[in-house]
Chains A and B, each alone.
Chain A
Amino acid sequence: MSIVVNIDVMLAKRKMQSKELAERLAITPANLSILKTGKAKGIRFDTLEALCLALDCQPGDLLAFEADN
């Protein structure tokens, strides 16, 4: 996938656990896992906003573009 989700990196930087982040975002751990593993088809703006707030970062810190080849 061209868009890489860097939630794991930010979680490590903030020393936060996935479970805590899921609670803060009010989403299920299963949905957070879908998001982290890049299986999600899209991310809603309000989820992105909540992620930025919880991890104290910018959208660019969470998402990156990588060419396929």
Chain B
Amino acid sequence: MNIVRIVSSFGFYVFRILAIAYLVTGLYAGFALMMGSPLAAPVQSDSRFEIYYPFSQVPFLLGENSTAFVVEMLLGISLYGVFFWLLSNVFSTFRQPKLFTQQGIAHLTWFYRLNFLVPLAVLLLLSVVSSVEQIMVMLVVLHGLLGVFALFMAAIFKQGVHLQNEQDLYI
């Protein structure tokens, strides 16, 4: 159990930091694109844009100057921020002294819901505003598989909570 705690603590901190970085990047990119100069500027005769690091002229994000690309980029960064946040919650479940808890079930439920629904919804949205590449379909399938594992884990946790509650009544 000790190794599980070490790995889950490591996973929790890594993915929580990653989540914050992605969410802040998503917010900053959206803000910079709305504000324009001096945070972002068009390059190569308006066909591409550059977003700079705050308070500098060093390029941070580069992209195609089209609505479809901007939507794709902002959605991708922000939703991966949410994904990493929920993943860090799943890791935090395994750090607790008591493994089977209602909170653990809630974390797993949110995680499998996100993995089942959001990639599919994004794929549908992108098929309307832009073109769908094969790698996106593969990502949806991979997230779906992750969702299936989280669903199974949530079922195990539900059974665990039930057994634990029963066990608590043996004194």
| A contact set with B: CB distance below 8 Å | 27, 31-32, 34-35, 39-44, 47
| B contact set with A: CB distance below 8 Å | 166, 169-171
Residues of A within 8 A of B166 (CB): 41
Report how many A-B pairs have Cβ atoms within 8 Å.
21
Give me 19 other A-B pairs in contact (C-beta within 8 A), A31-B171, A43-B170 excluded: A27-B171, A32-B171, A34-B169, A34-B171, A35-B171, A39-B169, A40-B169, A40-B170, A40-B171, A41-B166, A41-B169, A41-B170, A42-B169, A42-B170, A42-B171, A43-B171, A44-B170, A44-B171, A47-B171
Residues of A within 8 A of B169 (CB): 34, 39-42
C-alpha spacing A32/B171, complex, angstroms: 8
C-alpha spacing A42/B166, complex, angstroms: 10
Name A27's closest neighbour in chain B (CB-CB): B171
